Amino acid sequence: MSSSINVGVIHELPLQSNLLDRDAFLTDLLSRVTASEKDGWFQQLRNDAAKWVHHSVIPNTREEEWRFTDLSPLKEVKFNNVGIIHELSLQNDFVLPEVSHRLVFVNGVYAPNLSNTENLPAGLKVGNLDMLPDEVAQQYLAQSEGTREVFTALNTAGLNDVAVVWVGKNVVVKNPIHLLFMSVVGESAIISQPRCLLVAESNSQVSLIEEYTNHRNTENEVYFNNSVTEIWVNENAQVSHSRIVLESDAAFHIGKTAVTQARYSRYSCNAVTVGGKISRHNLEILQTGEQTETTLNGLTVIADKQLADTHSAIALNHPHGVSKQLHKCIIGDRAHGVFNGKIFVPKPAQLTDAAQLNRNLLLSSKSRIDTKPQLEITADNVKCAHGATVSQLEDDEIFYLQSRGIDENNARKLLVNAFAAEIINLIPVTSLREKLLKTVVTLTNK
């Protein structure tokens, strides 16, 4: 694949010059990788990724892309292999009644007994990697830009199975598809590495809900989710993607979403992150044809001493591209939010229309946000804008609500909910919207 800008190099770190000086933490994580039952190209893919990880390092705050995100608490945890989960039931809290088709992965392992892939429309395939022919899987799996970023390579090195959604040519899928990745923790901390592959062939339409949560809904479970999602939006296809992270307050979550857009394609992402001791989302968009549309909406809600980092990179390499991004953060207590959004517009991308805005609401005098929206433009006929705002709840707004008979506490709740609802209301499933709004209320009122 050729492109004017390689999105993936943004998050890559150089190999160590001394191959004997390996990162002890990465080496330990690699030792937790289980053997694969597959061989041939699949095992070679894993082996190549493992070699790269062996010669890489965990990023630290001296790296520009990680200077606000300290991963030292992650390195202090001893993670163990994922055990086999028996007789797990799916609680009603995790079932979306409006959704007909569901894939469930427990600690990164496919759970067919909890999934529902019956009565699929013609041209739609939903399942795990076994349903794809090898030649098709080789064409798309781990073929997005940025595969050598250290956490992406670690995920590939540990590949055993993949959540697959394949939408054939001219197929329009009316109801959303739910991918549920659950973490179940035993006596010690675990690492799981979920993987998702979505391919929307030409002239197709699909809506995907990708959700990460812990099975018992407890706040103090320690685990590490290292997820990778690859989305291929082919010519004139349309993908609506909702990515929901509802992790334990003590969990670690590092996720990559790599999207490749062909000409005339449309992709929208509604990303909501709630909870997690340390969470990071790398969202990378690569435009491979002209006249694409990209809409990115994000919401981060954190409190206590949590850290949540969103890094996005949009490479608009061709003419007439349209990109709109709005990311919001609600930060309470001593929590720390990070936003870094990059939009690249090289000279061939004339008549590009790109806008980016980061809005942040601080609920405490000790909460913190580091925001850095970026435009890198060499084309001379474009319409581009970017900006960021940081504010607290306005006293006059609270006073206005109080003058209408609402007490101060409920006035604050109302204003926070309204700030969050602009993003949450874009999610296409009513029950999930209600669940998220309740979670936001709970977290911001601790």
Residue % of the chain over a pLDDT of 70: 93
Q: Do 412 and 282 belong together in one domain?
A: no
Q: Which residues of 322-347 are buried (b: 16+ CB within 10 A; e: fewer)?
A: bbebbbbbbbbeebbbbbbbbbbbbe
**Given a cut of 70, is residue 337 above it in pLDDT?**
yes
Q: What is the pLDDT of residue 11?
A: 45
Residue predicted with more confidence, 148 or 169: 169
Residue % of the chain over a pLDDT of 90: 77
153 assigned to some structural domain: yes
Q: Do 143 and 283 belong together in one domain?
A: yes
Q: What is the pLDDT of residue 442?
A: 81
* Residues near 47 by beta carbon (within 8 Å), at least 6 away in sequence: none
* DSSP 8-state class, residue 60: -
- Which residue segment(s) compose the domain that 433 sits in? 394-445
10 assigned to some structural domain: no
348 assigned to some structural domain: no
Ranges of beta strands (E only) in 262-302 are 266-274, 278-287, 293-302
CA-based nearest residue to 4, from 294, 235, 318, 284? 318
Phi, psi of 436 (to 5 degrees): -70, -40
Strands 353-362 and 163-167: unpaired
Q: What is the pLDDT of residue 84?
A: 59
Token pair for residue 436? Answer: 């998220």
H/E element holding 40? none
Q: Do 398 and 285 belong together in one domain?
A: no
114 assigned to some structural domain: yes
417 assigned to some structural domain: yes
Domain boundary among 289, 315, 346: 289
Token pair for residue 164? Answer: 């697959």
Q: Do 185 and 59 belong together in one domain?
A: yes
Average pLDDT of every residue of the chain: 91
Domain boundary among 263, 289, 315: 289
384 assigned to some structural domain: no
* Residues near 262 by beta carbon (within 8 Å), at least 6 away in sequence: 202, 233, 234, 235, 237, 288, 289, 292
- Neighbouring CB atoms inside 10 A of 72's CB total 11
Q: Do 58 and 195 belong together in one domain?
A: yes
pTM to 2 decimals? 0.94
340 assigned to some structural domain: no
- Give 421's Cβ-side CA count (13 Å radius): 10
Domain boundary among 257, 289, 321: 289
The DSSP code sequence of 181-211 is: EEE---SS-EEE--EEEEEE-TT-EEEEEEE
Q: What is the pLDDT of residue 221?
A: 86
Total domains present in the chain = 2
Q: Do 269 and 132 belong together in one domain?
A: yes
Ranges of beta strands (E only) in 215-346 are 223-233, 238-246, 252-261, 266-274, 278-287, 293-302, 307-315, 322-331, 336-345
Residue predicted with more confidence, 299 or 2: 299
Q: What is the pLDDT of residue 445?
A: 74
Residue predicted with more confidence, 83 or 140: 140
Q: How far apart, in whole angstroms, are the C-alpha atoms of residue 106 and residue 290?
A: 39
For residue 3, count CB atoms less than 10 angstroms from its CB and return exposed for 0-12, middle for 13-18, buried for 19 or more.
middle
162 assigned to some structural domain: yes
Q: How far apart, in whole angstroms, are the C-alpha atoms of residue 363 and residue 441?
A: 13
